[in-house]
Structure 1
Amino acid sequence: MIRIGFVTCVQLGLSCMEALYEAGGQLSFAMTLEDDQAVNKSGRVYLDEFCAERDIPLQKSRHVNNQDVIDAIGEYQLDWLFIIGWSQIASSQVLNAPKRGVLGMHPTLLPTGRGRAAIPWAILKGLDKTGVTLFKLDTGVDTGPIVDQVEIPLSTSTDAGMLYDLVDEAHVALMKKVVPALMADELVLREQVDRLATEWPGRKPEDGEINLSGSVYDAERLVRAVTRPYPGAFALVDGKRYVIWRAEISDIDDGSFGLQFADGFLKALEYEVVA
């Protein structure tokens, strides 16, 4: 029997654990943070109830690279270990601890979009699709061999909030898709084609500033790309900072608040003025 472990501390990871069981899989081990860690982290969850109901041994540790975690992976003789929704970088010792390796997910269609800020960049780049990739972790950044992918179509109205939800749904769908092959020890991995790889850098809140000398189309795309749950696009007008959460391109200025560009008017549908 293939023995699988899971590392997470957020709702997305728990949803993937639930999907694994719904698809007929089972876990031999789970690891999460200590109860007093990351209490304000977005989506923070506790695995105690889920694991108790399914008789899954649950290890709590302050870091995934701690020796107690590595020892537990060996003790439970894990073949595969999932790490999903986890901010700590796994060491090579952890990556080599399970017999077959460690699996993770990345919210792009690798090798496109290695790196950071996958949701904003997919919108900013005007892609017609993105997705989620399940792959085997190695010591590189999103460079390991691919297990499978789920595509997510994008439109000119897709914003970050919509895509965030779609990415979560794709994680669950991908988990259900691969569980039968995983449990049957029939996973087929394919190497990424490095010459096709692109790398997306991290983004900061100040990257959300709208270029008032640029195009209205770029500004509208930026608003969609960094709206909630991200910090939002903003413009400095008459000494005030306007954060624009939703906007649309209009041919005319109808008197409502918006931004005038050389190629059009950006009408703010939802915005706030911050100090």
Structure 2
Amino acid sequence: MTRAVVFAYHNVGVRCLKVLLAQGIDVALVVTHEDNPNENIWFGSVRQVCEENGIPFITPSDPNTSEIETRIAALGADFLFSFYYRHMLKAPLLAAVSRGAYNMHGSLLPKYRGRVPINWAVIHGETETGATLHGMTEKPDNGAIVDQVAVPILPDDTAQEVFEKVTVAAELCLHRALPALIDGTALHRVQDLSQGAYFGGRKAEDGRIDWRQNARQIHNLVRAVTRPYPGAFSDLGAGRLVLWRTRVVADDCTGPLTGNIIHNNGRLEIHPHGGGTLQILDADFAGTSLPLGGDSDRRIALPSSDS
């Protein structure tokens, strides 16, 4: 029986761990995370899957210790898998199994290597992303590709909606690739790293809106950081505006309304300095839900910078 050690977290971790179990892999140990009480835990629990299936698991703050390396090496596992585990794994862990270490990444590598690839893909207006199973090296997300599954990104998809698609893509990708990995026939395609780049993690402050951008760019930010993330925001004179859902009405129009929020036919519209028109579908202002209706002629001026 093929034996594996699994590092896993989040929905991709849950679904890919279940794929291993469904295909008869002996999961000797799972390494996962303790949930952060300060984080919005909107995703599934790898720990719960382990408890339900009687799988040993640990939740170290740092997996790269001699104690854990020795423990994993002693298991005699064939494979190490990493499914949305948040820590980098160093060389001794990658070498602690006999047949290779593999990671499931939430993009179509070599594009969007690094952190939060789905959010970055939405921010940049990509129309496609996916999941990639690849060999692990000490440098993140640059090992040879075993398989990929693509999914579309629709113009109004939020990051969470795309993540749900990528979770299914990851499950399909692993399910398809696993038999060839086990029997030793899996092909490994070296990445052309010049076709992509690394991206870093994001924090709440990165949701600040730059009104110098156009409507489409702002819309992409809104859907990339909307719930369950902290949201796209701007500090206006009377309070903080948080945009949760928008719709692009026009991409490139400019005129006397540019730089303002106005009422138009019972809807609130944003005319950013960068051009175009955004309709507000869901927003908070000064801590309360923003009324979207009305026919007032009042205008709210937008800042001319992102600060």
Does residue 240 of structure 1 match 2:239?
A: yes
8 Å Cα contact 1:59/1:69 also seen in 2: no
Matched residue SS, 2:16: helix
Give the equivalent residue in structure 1 for 2:267. Answer: 256
Does residue 268 of structure 1 match 2:280?
A: yes
Seen in structure 2, the aligned counterparts of structure 1 residues 226 and 183 have a Cα distance that, compared at 3 Å, is: same
For the residues of structure 2 that align with 1:237 and 1:222, how far apart are their CA atoms? 18
Matched residue SS, 2:267: coil
8 Å Cα contact 1:2/1:184 also seen in 2: no
For the residues of structure 1 that align with 2:182 and 2:208, how far apart are their CA atoms? 48
Give the equivalent residue in structure 2 for 1:148. Answer: 147
Deviation at 1:61, TM superposition (A): 4.9
Seen in structure 2, the aligned counterparts of structure 1 residues 225 and 21 have a Cα distance that, compared at 3 Å, is: same
8 Å Cα contact 1:25/1:183 also seen in 2: no
Deviation readout 1:20-74 (Å, 9 max, x if unpaired): 233x23124122358xx3363633442443432xxx5x14252322334322322
Does residue 6 of structure 1 match 2:3?
A: no
Aligned length: 268
Deviation at 1:232, TM superposition (A): 1.2
Give the equivalent residue in structure 2 for 1:65. Answer: 64
Deviation at 1:260, TM superposition (A): 2.1
8 Å Cα contact 2:133/2:145 also seen in 1: yes
Q: Which one is further off, 241-250 or 69-78?
A: 69-78
For the residues of structure 2 that align with 1:136 and 1:50, how far apart are their CA atoms? 29
Matched residue SS, 2:265: coil
Q: TM-score, normalised by structure 1?
A: 0.87
Deviation at 1:163, TM superposition (A): 0.5
- Segments of structure 2 that go 5 or more residues without pairing to the other structure are 251-262, 288-307
Question: Where in structure 1 do 4 or more consecutive aligned residues deviate above 4 Å?
Answer: none
Give the equivalent residue in structure 2 for 1:172. Answer: 171
For the residues of structure 2 that align with 1:60 and 1:204, how far apart are their CA atoms? 27
Q: Within 5 A, what are the aligned runs for 1:90-129?
A: 90-129=89-128
Look at both structures and tell me which one has the larger radius of gyration over its CA atoms: 2
Seen in structure 2, the aligned counterparts of structure 1 residues 178 and 248 have a Cα distance that, compared at 3 Å, is: same
Which amino acid is the alignment partner of residue 201 of structure 1?
G
Deviation readout 1:126-155 (Å, 9 max, x if unpaired): 222111111111111211111111111122
Q: Which one is further off, 107-116 or 201-210?
A: 201-210
Partner residue of 1:51 out of 30, 34, 53: 53
Give the equivalent residue in structure 2 for 1:16. Answer: 16
Give the equivalent residue in structure 2 for 1:38. Answer: 35
For the residues of structure 2 that align with 1:75 and 1:51, how far apart are their CA atoms? 22
Q: Give the percent of matched residue pairs that are identical in Structure 1 and Structure 2.
A: 29
For the residues of structure 2 that align with 1:119 and 1:254, how far apart are their CA atoms? 35
Give the equivalent residue in structure 2 for 1:211. Answer: 210
Deviation at 1:4, TM superposition (A): 2.0
8 Å Cα contact 2:246/2:279 also seen in 1: yes
The alignment's C-alpha RMSD in Å is 2.3
Give the equivalent residue in structure 1 for 2:135. Answer: 136
Deviation readout 1:160-189 (Å, 9 max, x if unpaired): 121111111111111211121122222221
- Segments of structure 1 that go 5 or more residues without pairing to the other structure are none
For the residues of structure 1 that align with 2:132 and 2:98, how far apart are their CA atoms? 22
8 Å Cα contact 1:223/1:244 also seen in 2: yes
Matched residue SS, 1:257: strand
8 Å Cα contact 1:209/1:235 also seen in 2: yes
For the residues of structure 1 that align with 2:166 and 2:220, how far apart are their CA atoms? 19
Deviation at 1:258, TM superposition (A): 3.6
Deviation at 1:274, TM superposition (A): 4.2
Q: TM-score, normalised by structure 2?
A: 0.79
8 Å Cα contact 2:158/2:224 also seen in 1: yes
Matched residue SS, 1:161: helix
For the residues of structure 2 that align with 1:39 and 1:242, how far apart are their CA atoms? 27
8 Å Cα contact 1:227/1:246 also seen in 2: yes
Deviation at 1:105, TM superposition (A): 1.2
